């Protein structure tokens, strides 16, 4: 397996969001074990996030909006008050369907 890498700016973005006192979550279609392996490989820790929702917790995968609707609800937020950062077309479609703001592509922070 190729070594996974974070997009440039991800660590700085996580730190800035936390310093601003905002909630931060991961919503991934991967199952929990694959997610945990990937997280370990890129050097992130689950405790850096307020919530992690994985594909193991939902019935419908992206581009269905369920994962973003579930994440927003668990955070106690309306989807329209959430910013989704995505790296896939199906993820962007899911964010749009959920009514969230979204950003796709490479982060420049």
Q: Give the chain's domain count.
A: 1
Helix (H) / strand (E) element for 53: namely strand 51-53
Digit-coded pLDDT (tens) for 79-100: 999 999 888 899 999 999 999 9
**What is the pLDDT, as a whole number, of residue 104?**
58
Q: What is the pTM of this model?
A: 0.87
Q: Is 90 exceeded by the pLDDT of residue 55?
A: yes
> Is 2 contained in some domain?
no
Tokens for 35? Answer: 């997610």
- Cα angle at 101 between 97 and 102, to 5 degrees? 90
pLDDT at position 33 over 90? yes
For residue 23, which phi and psi values (nearest 5 degrees)?
Answer: -80, 145
pLDDT one-digit tens code per residue, 57-67: 999 999 999 99
Strand 51-53 relative to strand 83-86, pairing? unpaired
Residue 15 in any domain: the answer is yes
Domain containing 74 equals: 10-104
DSSP 8-state assignment for residue 67:
H
């Amino acid at each position: 397996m190729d070594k996974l890498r974070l997009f440039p700016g991800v660590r700085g973005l996580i730190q800035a969001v936390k310093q601003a006192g905002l909630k931060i979550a991961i919503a991934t279609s991967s199952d929990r074990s694959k997610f945990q392996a990937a997280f370990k490989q890129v050097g992130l820790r689950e405790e850096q996030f307020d919530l992690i929702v994985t594909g193991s917790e939902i019935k419908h995968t992206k581009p269905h909006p369920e994962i973003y609707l579930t994440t927003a609800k668990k955070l106690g937020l309306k989807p329209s008050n959430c910013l989704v950062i995505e790296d896939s077309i199906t993820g962007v479609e899911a964010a749009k369907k959920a009514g969230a703001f979204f950003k796709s592509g490479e982060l420049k922070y």
